[in-house]
Amino acid sequence: MPKVKLGTKSEPSVELKKSADLIAIRTRSTRSVRAGPVPSPSAAEVQDGKLITSFPEAGVEVYQVQVGPRERSLESRKAALRAAPDVRFAGGVFVDPSGEPVVYTENLFIKFRDDADSEACREVIRAAGLVIKKEVAYAANSFFVAAPEGTGEKIFDIAAALLNRQDVEFCHPELLWRRARRTISPQQWHLRTTSVGGVNVSASANVEAAHALSSGEGIVIAVIDDGIDIDHPEFGSSSKIVAPRDATLGTGDPRPKDPHPQFSDDHGTACAGVACADGVAGASGVAPRAKLMPIRLSSGLGSQQEAEAFVWAADHGADVISCSWGPPDGDWWDATDPRHTNMFRLPANTRLAINYVTERGRGGKGCVVLFAAGNGNESVDNDGYASYERVIAVAASNDRSKRSVYSDFGNAVWCSFPSNDFGFPEQNRPEPLTTGIWTTDRRGPLGYNRGRTDLGDLGGNYTNAFGGTSSACPGAAGVVALVLSRNPSLRWQEVRDILRRACDRIDPQGGLYNPQGHSRLYGYGRLNAETAVRLAAPSDLNSLRVSRIVNEALPDLQTVSVALDVVETRLVENLSVLVDIEHTYIGDLVVTLIPPPALRMRNIILHNRSGGGTHDLKKIFDPLVVPALAGIKGKSPAGRWKLQVRDAAARDAGILRRFSLDLVLAPQEPRDAPGPERAAREKTQRSPRAKQTKAKLVRRSTRPA
């Protein structure tokens, strides 16, 4: 059975095994084998089966069929299906250790070392019998390639052989999992204290108060999800929609497509409304004046289209990226569900794309990427997407200021945001005070509300029961937009730290906050939007930039050094270094930061001949990118800092344009008056039918390849 490395050679493998009762079918027409008023003869082979997952744009379906002595064998079913004219492929299905089906394609993602010769990389690909489908722009020497049709399971051997090469960093087949939505399925109590159904609800993120200071002007929120109803009146303000995209189909139309009756595109419209609905007719987003970049993604989890959706967002001006999806969750009410302990790795192609947007987005300040923590009542640390170090994982809190019963927990949870909840007597959890989050829905008879006032409004344009960490994530993304609108100069790490400082510690006894203020249930607490916006004001930040315009030539095979004198003596909380170099081959360059001798720190290599033939190096280096920079924390930065640039190989030359040190200084609050953060903290210290509730919880959306 194949073992697949989705990361580097040294990272753990994902072990797959063949399922005994699953069949994958791919049709030439991309229609379902069971579609139409008159089913085709091939439909008989899966008539007794259950549709487990579907990738409609690729024409792929996975069925679970009956097995046993009195049933037709898998092999005979597959043979009969292969004989059908419209069936392109019929075969077995692999499952991961938790039993989740995994569909493989005959495509590979491969990244060679940055210093590898580009033409030599192409020759390796050709020699392996592969064809380049796309050169990946967001990572040096990276390619999306295809094997000949009919390669089948040999694709795993090809990937393993290539990964064993010394010049290859990453190589894995394109594996597709179900993309699980983070949804569970007046009124906007999450924005302000209000009364719902005659009951006072005071569990909001204090958003209404924040709107006096910021409403998101000038900021673009990218919502990567299924289709988004961009014709909804709440997205109709002037220039509201920016760079719309269908990443799966490669078009500019992100509207819902409803590719399969069981998996309709309802989720994205609700998520977008929570983040930034205009609030002109019936629902305000957290950041109503922010612009919306709707990106429809219905491809499988781990697909190349997934990676490219992130790159599209950064390249077209997104400031914030909200992702209310991830690996399939276990059933939150079933402690024995084996999916609770499944480790899901972040594939290299998507990892590098997230690196790209956090390094190159917003002119080098980095896009802020948020993921829903998950709805499995399980550890988010097992989820390679939400727990990635460049991502902000958002958990859900309920209308009683406690953890929503389904919300994932763990070290990676950064913050929480209000969402819905469920009563659960087994854990002494009372019924919630509200049905959930009131937000936008697909218009008319589509979406979650088909036009019933007990589900939203009579027109069917709004739903009153959105929830899950799917709702919490875009809510937090809206807070980020408020913060960036207040101070657009913030780097993504500074935004993340503001969110940390802006959290209210709800449930102080049950939250089990550690001495650093972190809870595995709530992160640093529930976001307080007003506090976050106040902390973002430039006058409230202890930040300092020391910069020098250099414009000095970098001759071939020579070394250039420039200096910056820092006179600030206060202690440093964080150091980032901005380097701006024009060069025709950055793989020639070694860039070193030399601290003042008094600090007794070693020289810090910022860039060591990576990037190959990429032109120009304009990048912010921070402790996340270069951990050695954390060594300055708690020390005075005073003294002469030097930047040394060495051209280590022949043929190319360039110019060093600029060198800057960005210092975040340790806060010094006055003794006689509270600082803005302390003052803000002191100021603020569904349906009852259980069976229907659970049915909504287990429903998962699968995205086509």
Which residues are known catalytic residues? 225, 267, 470
Q: Cα–chain-centroid distance for residue 68?
A: 42
Q: Does residue 377 contact residue 408 with C-beta atoms inside 8 Å?
A: yes
36-to-32, 33, 39, 40, 703 alpha-carbon distances in Å: 8, 9, 6, 8, 21
CA–CA distance, 240 with 259 (Å, rounded to integer) = 26
Residue in the structure block whose two tokens are 């959306």: 701
CA–CA distance, 197 with 564 (Å, rounded to integer) = 62
Token reading at 372: 């829903």
CA–CA distance, 449 with 255 (Å, rounded to integer) = 18
Name the β-bridge partners of 199: 196
What DSSP state is assigned to residue 280?
S
Q: Does residue 119 contact residue 132 with C-beta atoms inside 8 Å?
A: no
Classify strands 543-554 and 617-621 as parallel, antiparallel or unpaired.
unpaired
CA–CA distance, 542 with 306 (Å, rounded to integer) = 37
Token reading at 389: 């170090």
- Give the count of beta carbons closer than 10 Å to the beta carbon of residue 691: 6
Which of 248, 275, 234 is CA-nearest to residue 473? 275
Q: Cα–chain-centroid distance for residue 264?
A: 21
Query: At residue 170, what is the residue type?
Result: F
Which of 231, 236, 270, 235 is CA-nearest to residue 253? 231
257-to-56, 454, 520, 548 alpha-carbon distances in Å: 10, 26, 38, 52
CA–CA distance, 532 with 541 (Å, rounded to integer) = 12
CA–CA distance, 183 with 419 (Å, rounded to integer) = 10
- Give the count of beta carbons closer than 10 Å to the beta carbon of residue 430: 12
Which of 525, 206, 476 is CA-nearest to residue 324? 476
CB neighbour list of residue 520: distance below 8 Å, 6 or more residues apart: 409, 410, 411, 413, 512
Q: Cα–chain-centroid distance for residue 585?
A: 31
CA–CA distance, 525 with 594 (Å, rounded to integer) = 39
CA–CA distance, 213 with 352 (Å, rounded to integer) = 36
Which of 85, 107, 97, 81 is CA-nearest to residue 23? 81
Name the β-bridge partners of 458: none
CB neighbour list of residue 484: distance below 8 Å, 6 or more residues apart: 219, 319, 320, 368, 490, 495, 536
Token reading at 275: 């983040």
Token reading at 4: 């697949």
CB neighbour list of residue 200: distance below 8 Å, 6 or more residues apart: 193, 194
CA–CA distance, 285 with 341 (Å, rounded to integer) = 35
